[in-house]
Structure 1
């Protein structure tokens, strides 16, 4: 299957009838920590994830 320009978020939203956002692992990891994790009660937060690469969100 060719994934370039495939409307994945829209397809999942329509199938699941739920809001869907598609982004990279670091951005969604940082957002998750900000919403319900280590940054939950903070006004600002920075996350650095180190794996096969290094990313920030």
Structure 2
């Protein structure tokens, strides 16, 4: 029975699209230590800020 469950789980993972939140959580969870986690968070925040319009007050 577990063989069938493993197959169905693998099939569901292949057919399910990753959301941006899933991708970000996976990226952060792969940090090897606290410094690496801080670097990854800083990288994400810089990428997010680069997409923000620079003339938001006009």
The TM-score, its normalising length taken from structure 1, stands at 0.27
Structure of higher CA gyration radius? 2
**TM-score scaled by length of structure 2:** 0.27
Higher percent of residues as helix: 2
